[in-house]
């Protein structure tokens, strides 16, 4: 508003809303980011078709300025611009490290655009026709309710909140300095950046995060942690470019490698116990409760619950991916389905085939059971070393662990012996 314009807020489908706004404002062009996945491309086509039905009222000759507003798409969302890649996305390397090394050595990251000094004047617009400027709906208006979570991150939408988190995490709390050591945490707001919901909804750009990391490195210090945030953002880019290369196979059961040898189950009882956090494994149940309650789960948690669903339960990985899609505040089709295909062992890179052992993960990332006791208060009274495997004080385990046992005896030999023919690819990494 300081720059002479306002934000028009409407709630509904882009293919219905955008043509009506274009009509009311007499717009000649609608600009949007290019999408890469099928459902988003369908919306893009719907918007284009809707705009074609709009007739602009113009005095100019129609040849010069078409009567219907046009849809102009620009590449966005990634840190590296698609036009700057040393290869076409369809030729993308299947090994992440090759991709990363190649872009790091051959590409530069474009600067952010400066905000124009003036955004006005307001287009001549019949706002009444479209219900006025609108306002940000309250959570209650959307049929949802607030959940009070003391140990979580309070996510507020919008660019100002996103910038304030960057400021807090990098500068005020100086957490960027130690990111690489803390990033595998699960409890509280500060073990990782928590930028993902804002990145996913376009409230901040990864190019801005890049510029802030570089400024931090100049003004404070450069170390492994400052680099690691960029390393993770390159993963995010990689999954987006992979969606251009592998199109719909990212959503199909055999994944990009079209793996057919895995027999997946769609057992509803097992799936519901995972979804609702009633598996009898506190580490799984706590993470699933956090996801449902807050719309967020740590990266460590996501890898563990994904591995449990696909490896220990043998459930169709797409059911897990869909539940994540339903809940995640940072849902992004490329990162979500890309990570799930890796977790399920059907991703483009067979070397990313991993089994996460619950006893080992619990020992490394929640040794005192603080995380599980926060989300499952019934465990708080137990001694710390019993919280992950509380026996009869907790609900019965719904399936045994495939590799390794719950009394913390696990190891490669056991894992290799029992791996059988369940999964494609000979060697799996055991975490």
Task: Kindly state the smallest distance separating residue 192's Cβ from ligand FAD, in Å.
Answer: 3
103 part of the interface to ligand FAD, by CB under 6 A:
no
- Residues 419, 393 contacting (CB under 8 angstroms): no
Site residues for ligand FAD, window 373-392 (CB under 6 A)?
none
Contacting ligand FAD (CB under 6 A), which of 171, 227, 235, 415?
A: 235
User: Cα–Cα distance between 72 and 28 in angstroms, integer?
Assistant: 10
Task: Kindly state the smallest distance separating residue 357's Cβ from ligand FAD, in Å.
Answer: 16
Task: Kindly state the smallest distance separating residue 234's Cβ from ligand FAD, in Å.
Answer: 9
Closest CA to 259 of 13, 423, 81: 423
**C-alpha radius of gyration, the chain, whole number:** 24
Task: Kindly state the smallest distance separating residue 239's Cβ from ligand FAD, in Å.
Answer: 5
Site residues for ligand FAD, window 158-187 (CB under 6 A)?
183
233 part of the interface to ligand FAD, by CB under 6 A:
yes
196 among the known binding-site residues? Answer: yes
User: Cα–Cα distance between 203 and 332 in angstroms, integer?
Assistant: 14
365 part of the interface to ligand FAD, by CB under 6 A:
no
Closest CA to 188 of 298, 328, 284, 288: 298
205 part of the interface to ligand FAD, by CB under 6 A:
no
Residue 373, Cβ density class (10 Å: 0-12 exposed, 13-18 middle, ≥19 buried) = buried
In the residue annotation, 232 being an active-site residue is answered as yes
Cα dist from 256 to 197, 243, 332, 340, whole Å: 26, 10, 18, 11
User: Cα–Cα distance between 401 and 31 in angstroms, integer?
Assistant: 50
User: Cα–Cα distance between 229 and 210 in angstroms, integer?
Assistant: 9
292 among the known binding-site residues? Answer: no
Contacting ligand FAD (CB under 6 A), which of 37, 176, 213, 229?
A: 229
* Cis geometry, peptide bond prior to residue 182 (ω within 30 degrees of 0): no
Contacting ligand FAD (CB under 6 A), which of 37, 208, 328, 358?
A: 328
Question: What are residue 74's phi and psi, to 5 degrees?
Answer: -125, 145
Cα dist from 405 to 139, 358, 389, 391, 399, whole Å: 43, 9, 11, 13, 11
Locate 396 and state its tokens: 């019965």
Site residues for ligand FAD, window 250-309 (CB under 6 A)?
298-299, 302-303, 306
193 part of the interface to ligand FAD, by CB under 6 A:
yes
51 part of the interface to ligand FAD, by CB under 6 A:
no
Span near ligand FAD by CB under 6 A; candidates 2-10, 13-21, 231-239, 280-288: 231-239
Strand, helix or coil for residue 153: coil
Contacting ligand FAD (CB under 6 A), which of 236, 289, 402, 410?
A: 236
Catalytic pick among 40, 211, 223, 235: 235
Closest CA to 58 of 11, 22, 87: 22
Catalytic pick among 274, 317, 323, 375: 317
Please enumerate, by residue number, every residue annotated as part of a binding site.
Answer: 179, 192-196, 232-239, 330-332
Please enumerate, by residue number, every residue annotated as part of a binding site for FAD.
Answer: 179, 192-196, 232-239, 330-332
The binding site for ligand FAD (CB under 6 A) comprises 183, 192-196, 199-200, 229, 232-233, 235-236, 239, 298-299, 302-303, 306, 324, 328, 330-332, 335-336, 339-340, 343
Catalytic residues: 232, 235, 264, 299, 317, 340
């Amino acid at each position: 508003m300081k720059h002479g314009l306002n934000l028009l807020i409407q709630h509904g489908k882009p293919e219905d809303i955008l043509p009506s706004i274009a009509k009311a404002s007499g717009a000649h062009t609608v600009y949007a980011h290019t999408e890469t996945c099928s459902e988003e491309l369908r919306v893009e086509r719907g918007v284009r078709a809707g705009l074609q039905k709009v007739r602009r009222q113009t005095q100019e000759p129609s040849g010069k300025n078409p009567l219907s507003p046009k849809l102009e798409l620009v590449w966005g969302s990634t840190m590296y611009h698609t036009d700057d890649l040393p290869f076409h996305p369809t030729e993308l390397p299947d090994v992440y490290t090759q991709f990363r090394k190649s872009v790091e050595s051959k590409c530069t990251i474009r600067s952010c655009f400066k905000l124009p000094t003036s955004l006005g004047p307001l287009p001549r617009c019949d706002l009444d026709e479209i219900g006025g400027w609108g306002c940000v709906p309250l959570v209650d208006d959307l049929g949802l309710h607030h959940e009070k979570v003391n140990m979580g991150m309070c996510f507020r939408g919008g660019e100002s909140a996103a910038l304030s988190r960057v400021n807090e995490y990098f500068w005020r709390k100086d957490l960027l300095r130690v990111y690489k050591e803390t990033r595998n945490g699960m409890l509280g707001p500060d073990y990782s950046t928590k930028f993902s919901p804002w990145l996913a909804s376009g409230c901040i750009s990864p190019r801005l995060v890049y510029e802030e990391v570089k400024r931090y490195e100049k003004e404070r210090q450069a170390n492994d942690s400052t680099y690691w945030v960029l390393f993770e953002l390159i993963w995010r880019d990689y999954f987006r470019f992979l969606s251009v290369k592998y199109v719909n196979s990212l959503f199909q059961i055999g994944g990009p490698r079209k793996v057919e040898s895995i027999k997946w189950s769609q057992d509803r009882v097992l799936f519901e116990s995972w979804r609702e956090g009633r598996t009898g494994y506190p580490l799984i149940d706590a993470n699933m409760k956090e996801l449902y309650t807050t719309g967020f789960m740590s990266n460590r948690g996501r890898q563990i619950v994904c591995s449990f669903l696909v490896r220990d339960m043998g459930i169709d990985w797409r059911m897990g991916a869909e539940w994540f899609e339903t809940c995640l505040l940072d849902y992004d089709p490329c990162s979500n389905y890309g990570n799930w295909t890796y977790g399920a062992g059907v991703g483009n890179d067979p070397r990313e085939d991993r089994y996460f052992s619950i006893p080992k993960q619990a020992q490394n990332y929640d040794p005192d059971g603080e995380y599980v006791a926060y989300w499952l208060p019934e465990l708080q009274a137990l001694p710390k070393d019993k919280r992950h495997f509380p026996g009869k004080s907790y609900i019965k385990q719904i399936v045994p662990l495939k590799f390794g046992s719950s009394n913390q005896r696990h190891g490669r030999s056991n894992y290799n012996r029992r791996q059988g023919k369940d999964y494609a690819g000979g060697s799996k990494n055991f975490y």
